[in-house]
Structure 1
Amino acid sequence: MSAFDDLLAFQRQTEALSSVAERLGWDQETVMPRGATEQRSEEMAAMESVLHERRTDPRIGEWLDAAKPETPAEVRTVELITRDFTRSSRIPARLAAELARVTSLAQGDWAEARANEAPDEFLPTLDNVLMLKREEAAALADGGDLYDALLDDYEPGITGAEVARLFDAMRPRLVALRENILGAENPPQALKGHFPHDTQIRLARACATAFGYDWSRGRMDIAVHPFSSGRWQDSRITTRVVETDPFNCLYSTIHEVGHSSYELGIDEDYAFTPLGRGVSLGVHESQSRIYENQMGRGRAFTGWLFDRMHDAFDGLNVADADAFYRSVNRVTPGYIRTESDEVQYNLHIMMRFDLERDLIAGRLDVTDLVEAWNGRFLKDFGVSVDRPANGVLQDVHWSVGLFGYFPTYALGNVYAGCLNAAMRNAVPGLDEALASGEAEPGVEWLRENVQRHGGLLPPRRLIAEATDAEVGPEPLLDYLDEKFGRIYEL
């Protein structure tokens, strides 16, 4: 066997073990007994120790030096393994294991504090997580910017300064659109009523099927914070149910189907290699957001959904499919990021981005985080946070150490805006298919132009090649102006 073959054989086992570790995380968030948190934290730490040892094995360096990749896929594989080997080698084994142990425990602490509306119960844990993440960032940054080192884990090739410039460019149009909408004279009617749990789940499964979810390689469960997990032949989704708000369940489901379908749509030849997973969190989010919003919240698909909801719940308080479409896209200054409308969603992300940059840089102490969050939320959204679960405790990300993750949500929206413009040109009959509950034409276009490539191309190059255009925020902002201008008669 060649050095490249040896490298791939070793990497295959590492990827398989990583998948097992991911499955442990899925289990913890869905079906694990609540009393097993401490045991799970030790299991996660042990798995991370094994993975870290493999990722930093000196033989990887030797194989990389001797490898002679020939095809573009082989060259990219070597590039990604080199990147992972370099980053992993900078992190002490002790730190890697401790991060896995502490963040596993912190998930339980966050969930408990959220249920108790008690941030003081969680902030000491968060402070410990933050300390470890700063240590990790310092090891990775090698003298550079700490936040950039963490961001590079989720969106390779972009910096915090670039993200800040992008957000500064987007914010004025988003704020202006929101202000025009909130001042409109004829806002959409809110959907109201009682929507039983089991009926919502049945409809959620129907929506997942409409978007091509492969139930032979996936499943759906309930979680506090919806997520997807897995790759290759096993990618699972979760959702949550609020019996006064069926859109929470249905659109969380469609969103996670987008994530999961990305993993399931990658070329099967890339399985158990670095190419066999989504290339970045921003690209991943582009898939979930374009499924959820540009296709799922469009007039065509909501017409199909209206008929099914009307039958399932014995009528709705909105008069017809047009009123239902407006209700689905209703803009209100709510607290929860995951429930936010398309207009305000990126403003939620911009707030979190600024706060977590300050936390990592040491400009903001954890003890002052609640006050900083509440003050910034009031400034940005004009509403006072009413309770911690609607404020600083709403997101799981910081508890599990995902600093640098939040901006990828907005990057995903930007990528989705670019992809939607290209997809509409390439698939002129898409709305006709969506109106009959069939998203396959759009899903197939995304699978061919984005999903199948896995990690083959860097994030922005992938989007640029898929759309044959420069990546920027204008397609997203133009789409929002046009869509909500019509809905609100601006």
Structure 2
Amino acid sequence: MTDYTDLMDFVRETEALAQVAGRLGWDQETMMPDGATEQRAEEHGAMASVLHARRIDARIAGWLDKAVAEDAIGAAQVRHIRRSFERTAKVPAQLAAAIARETSRAHRIWAQARAEEDVAAFLPALDKVLALKREEAQAIAGDADPYDAMLDDYEPGATAAQLSVMFGAMRPRLVGLRDAIRGQGPAPLLQGSFPEAGQMALTRELALAFGYDLHNGRIDKAVHPFSSGSGLDVRITTRTNPTDPFNCFYSTIHEVGHACYEQNIDRAYLLTPLGSGVSMGVHESQSRIYENQLGRSRAFTGWLFGRMKDTFGDIGIATEDDFFACVNRVADGYIRTEADEVQYNLHVLLRFDLEQAMVSGDLATRDLEAAWNDRFQRDFGFAVDRPSNGVLQDVHWSEGLFGYFPTYSLGNVYAGCLHAALRAAVPDLDDDLARGDTLRATDWLRENVQQHGGLYQPREVITRAAGVAPSEGPLLDYLEQKFGAIYGV
């Protein structure tokens, strides 16, 4: 056991340093002064160099050769460590540091370009990031598809070919449902004043209602809401809009889903490879089921309707049914993060196809805006009005997160499977949700998904919890039933 123990002691120190590196990113998004950009880029680069050196330390190979795991947990730890070591060893240290520096710089350039609606100002930075990420992916992939190597970083075992088949099956039913809804009357809209103080007070209440532990977390504001950290320090951010409180509330519930996954992992796995969510698809399944299947359900929105009236007074909605329709309003829009459940995945599919084309070299960054706008017009039937509503809206490419976007739709698919199993296990769940009580639902998710962390492979996590292999069917059935009832189609 000495080799296994030495290996785990070393890895725990590395994981602790990775958490420190993650805190640099949290600070950059929430509190860092604008003038610190260049210094922060060097800090990111330094931390990346330290972590890269530790992850390819020659001693790891020796420990892995000799380590004997006594149980399934130990075997899973070794599996994760071996995978990380083999992938990381293929990437030169200088390249890892360069990626960290350039993505830190590119993030700030993107933010300014987005604010100024200036795509051209961002493209040189994007070119640098894309070139570095291609080099990294090629080093990992060898003779295989570089894009699959990128995807595997976020969803181990998934391939672009597999996801293309799944997404291809989703698209016709999503478009058909969207087009049927477009022929119906619009849903009610909120009216009234929604001050930030009231939004933040209610968002804290919602976070607690969904099980977020503020003793080991905090809620801050950021331009792009996110969750950060794991174990005993898991932080979330949200944003407010004086005319659209749902942006705040459902961003919060979404990030709480991510955060609760991390907070509810077995504490025995703390600061080990099993101590974080197993993949971004599984992670997204938690945020989406919290936000949509639970948070936007008829039962829960009935409770939220009362709390909003208590907080803001008259909101221009007369009944719980009207409020339910308002929360689930299907409407044309540009922004992925604000899209309704019916159209959200169409936004993801657009990005999935474009980034594959960029990585393969079939799409030059100078042509990206035109390609985006043409595809958007075809998919949604109206034109992009400005870059911040189009190609500049997402942070991901500035941060080098190629291969990340498809995990959003995969997470929706996983959530559909989990929701069907949850409803079968707790058939009277709506009685709880109507009181704002999510405990039985979140306990089921903690027991069947969250506590396991990285113990199982991503698809295995969902299969064990749902009782069936992941497929798009349950999600599409749920969407057609829910929105068919709301819109009478």
Whether TM-score is above 0.5 comes out as yes
Cα distance between partner residues in 1 of 2:311 and 2:81: 50
User: 1:168: which partner in 2?
Assistant: 168
Letter aligned with residue 239 of structure 2: R
The question of whether the paired residues in 1 share the 8 Å contact of 2:192 and 2:314 is answered with no
| 1:138 partner SS | helix
> Superposed, which structure 2 residues align to 1:55-454 within 5 Å?
55-184=55-184, 186-454=185-453
Deviation by residue 1:403-445 (Cα, 9 ceiling, x = unmatched): 0000000000000000000001111232111111111110000
Letter aligned with residue 351 of structure 1: L
Deviation at 1:321, TM superposition (A): 1.1
Cα distance between partner residues in 2 of 1:163 and 1:198: 42
Deviates more, 1:17-26 or 1:115-124: 115-124
| 2:74 partner SS | helix
Cα distance between partner residues in 2 of 1:165 and 1:452: 31
| 2:285 partner SS | helix
Cα distance between partner residues in 2 of 1:429 and 1:391: 42
Letter aligned with residue 467 of structure 1: A
CA RMSD of aligned residues (A): 0.8
| 2:281 partner SS | helix
Letter aligned with residue 251 of structure 1: Y
Deviation at 1:272, TM superposition (A): 1.0
Deviation at 1:313, TM superposition (A): 1.4
Which ranges of structure 1 fall in alignment gaps of 5 or more residues?
Answer: none
Cα distance between partner residues in 1 of 2:191 and 2:366: 39
Deviation at 1:194, TM superposition (A): 3.1
Cα distance between partner residues in 2 of 1:196 and 1:393: 28
User: 1:30: which partner in 2?
Assistant: 30
Deviation at 1:284, TM superposition (A): 0.1
Deviation at 1:448, TM superposition (A): 0.2
Letter aligned with residue 153 of structure 2: D
| 2:216 partner SS | coil
Does the alignment pair 1:481 with 2:480?
yes
| 2:153 partner SS | helix
| 1:275 partner SS | helix
Letter aligned with residue 406 of structure 2: P
Cα distance between partner residues in 2 of 1:187 and 1:118: 34
Letter aligned with residue 401 of structure 1: G
Cα distance between partner residues in 1 of 2:130 and 2:197: 39
Cα distance between partner residues in 2 of 1:337 and 1:288: 15
The question of whether the paired residues in 1 share the 8 Å contact of 2:416 and 2:472 is answered with yes
Cα distance between partner residues in 2 of 1:170 and 1:70: 43
Letter aligned with residue 33 of structure 1: P
Letter aligned with residue 220 of structure 1: I
Percent of paired sites with the same residue: 61
Cα distance between partner residues in 2 of 1:126 and 1:470: 37
Deviation at 1:193, TM superposition (A): 3.4
The question of whether the paired residues in 1 share the 8 Å contact of 2:91 and 2:136 is answered with yes
Cα distance between partner residues in 1 of 2:15 and 2:484: 47
User: 1:21: which partner in 2?
Assistant: 21
Cα distance between partner residues in 1 of 2:155 and 2:130: 20
Number of equivalences:
489
| 2:228 partner SS | strand
Deviation at 1:203, TM superposition (A): 1.1
Letter aligned with residue 112 of structure 1: Q
Cα distance between partner residues in 2 of 1:469 and 1:150: 27
Deviation by residue 1:263-297 (Cα, 9 ceiling, x = unmatched): 00000000111000000000000000000000000
| 1:154 partner SS | coil
Cα distance between partner residues in 2 of 1:467 and 1:122: 43
Letter aligned with residue 47 of structure 2: M
Deviation at 1:83, TM superposition (A): 0.3
Cα distance between partner residues in 1 of 2:212 and 2:170: 33
| 1:221 partner SS | strand
Cα distance between partner residues in 2 of 1:25 and 1:245: 27
